[in-house]
Amino acid sequence: MDPIDYLWKRLTEPLGDEMVLQETNGDDVTCYCCDRKSKYWATDSYVNRQDSYLKMDVPVCAPCNALFLGTQRLGIEKGTPEKPAGFGKLGMLAGCGLIVTAKESIILTNPGWHKRISYSDNVLCRLEMVSGKSAFEYTVALIKELEPADFPVIYISDLGRKKAELVKNLILTSDSKVLISCSANGAARIDLELLDELQTFAVNDKKSWTKFKKFINDASNGRISPSDEKLQEFMASSPESLRLARLLPADPHEKLSLMRIV
């Protein structure tokens, strides 16, 4: 199932009651957000949204539209509880994360959003106030506790503001071995066993870890070449570093993002 449809089925479908839905009635409609043709949608419903740049109505499938919709179920975006100037939108919760499993959904909030979403008397799903690195640690601990039946999982590290980019980067996490962290900026695959090994190394041998981290970051950023003499020397002197370096993802961006979260 397409991840945006999975999000709809598991979490956002009730928001359809608040949308002015149109039916495709068998017509070919292409969603302006996910670019999918209506025959691939999990629903026949869409919304005509006014596009702020084009100044015209564009069709957006109901699952994508759930990111755009201002809903009382996400508290208030602006204003005060007495005088709300706009309701919260799932696709505009910049700095907040989201975990969706087959069993439950959790919005990972920061203090500002937590307060604003909590003004709702019928919040869309459970809130957990953890942000930054703690949000990631919370997610990893949760994923490790899940049963096979709880998958697939969607993990969005930052709901951000760029809805179309976010939808295009959504990838389902299918097991507890590799967590896929999605945002408008991309999707990073995080090997959780490797992350564990790196964290153990960082704790057990702080001195080597500091050097290891610097070499890996410098090599991934292109500041030094893989054949750098000092790098080679270090790897030869630290068998554990060499072993772990060989396990790191080949892609420099993935390497850097993994090193950041150890």
- Residues of the shown chain interacting with Zn ion in the complex, contacts defined by CB under 5 A: 31, 33-34, 61, 64
Closest approach of Cβ 36 to Zn ion, in Å? 6
Closer residue to Zn ion in complex, CB, 34/153: 34
In whole angstroms, how close is the CB of 27 to Zn ion at the nearest point?
A: 15
Residue 2 vs 205, nearer CB to Zn ion: 2
Spatial CA neighbour of 18 closest among 45, 36, 41, 44: 45
Which run of H or of E encompasses 77? strand 70-79
The minimum distance between CB 183 and Zn ion, in angstroms, equals: 18
Contacts of 196 (CB under 8 A, 6+ apart): none
The H helix count followed by the E strand count for the chain is 10, 11
61 or 219, CB closer to Zn ion?
Answer: 61
Least distance in angstroms from the C-beta of 182 to Zn ion? 16
Distance CA 75, CA 123 (A): 7
Ramachandran angles phi, psi of 141, nearest 5°: -60, -40
Of residues 64 and 108, the one with the C-beta less far from Zn ion: 64
